[in-house]
Amino acid sequence: MAKERRIKDKNKKGRKKNSLFSMFRYSISFIIFEVVFTGVVMTLVVFYGPFINVKKTVVGALMTSGAHQYIAKWFLSDAEINNLVGTATANSQVTQATQKVNLNAITIAHKNDTGIVRYDVSSTNGKFKGYMLLIKDPTRVKVGVSKSMGVEGELTSQIAKDNNAVAAINAGGFVDTSTNGTTTYTGTGGIPAGILISNGNVISNNDGNLDKKVTTMGITNAGKLLVGNYSVNDLESLNVTQAVSFMPILVLNGHAVKITEDGGIAPRTAIGQTADGSILLLVIDGRQLSSLGATYQDVQNIMLQYGAVNAINLDGGSSSTMYYDGSIINNPCDSNGERYVPSAVYVGN
**All structural domains of the chain with their residue ranges:** 2-80, 92-347
- Give the residue-averaged pLDDT of 266-276: 98
Closest CA to 109 of 249, 224, 280: 224
Band of residue 46 on the pLDDT scale cut at 50, 70, 90: low
pLDDT at 201: 97
Distance CA 48, CA 276 (A): 49
Closest CA to 320 of 116, 149, 66, 91: 66
pLDDT at 31: 78
Lowest mean pLDDT among 85-94, 277-286, 308-317: 85-94
Q: Pick the residue with more confidence: 314 or 51?
A: 314
Bridge partners for 131 per DSSP: 120, 283
pLDDT at 287: 94
pLDDT at 288: 95
**Residue 89 pLDDT exceeds 60:** no
Q: What percent of the chain has pLDDT over 90?
A: 63
pLDDT at 95: 47
Lowest mean pLDDT among 36-50, 100-114, 234-248, 265-279: 36-50
As a whole number, the mean pLDDT across the chain is 85
- Give the residue-averaged pLDDT of 282-303: 97
**Residue 160 pLDDT exceeds 70:** yes
Band of residue 45 on the pLDDT scale cut at 50, 70, 90: low
CA 309 to chain centre: 22
Cα angle 175, 170, 201; round to 5: 70
pLDDT at 77: 73
**Residue 342 pLDDT exceeds 70:** yes
- Burial class from Cβ neighbours inside 10 Å (0-12, 13-18, 19+) for residue 283 reads buried
Band of residue 202 on the pLDDT scale cut at 50, 70, 90: very high
- Give the residue-averaged pLDDT of 96-111: 87
Distance CA 10, CA 84 (A): 65
Sheet holding 116-122, edge to edge: 116-122, 129-135, 279-284, 268-274, 308-314, 249-252, 255-256
Closest CA to 310 of 278, 344, 264: 278
Distance CA 93, CA 206 (A): 18
- Give the residue-averaged pLDDT of 189-206: 95
